[in-house]
Amino acid sequence: LLTGIADVNNNKPEFRECETYSHIAKIEEGDYKVNAPVILKVVATDEDSPPNGDIVYSLYYSQSESRKPFVINPETGELRPSPFVRFDREQRAYEEVTVKVSKISRSLEANII
Residue 2 falls inside a structural domain: no
Q: Which of 63, 29, 54, 33 is nearest to 106 (CA)?
A: 54
Q: What pTM was computed for the model?
A: 0.78
Alpha-carbon gap, residue 79 to 83, rounded angstroms: 12
Specify the number of domains making up the chain: 1
Nearest-Å Rg of the Cα atoms of the chain is: 17
Q: What is the pLDDT of residue 98?
A: 86
**Residue 27 exposed, middle or buried by CB count within 10 Å (0-12, 13-18, 19+):** middle
Domain that holds residue 85: 14-25+37-112
Asked, for residue 5, whether it belongs to a domain, the answer is no
The series of mean pLDDT values per 10 residues for the chain, 113 residues long, is 64 71 77 92 82 84 83 94 93 87 66 47
Specify the pLDDT at position 113.
Answer: 42
Residues 46-61 pLDDT 10s:
877 777 778 889 998 8
* CATH number of 41's domain: 2.60.40.60
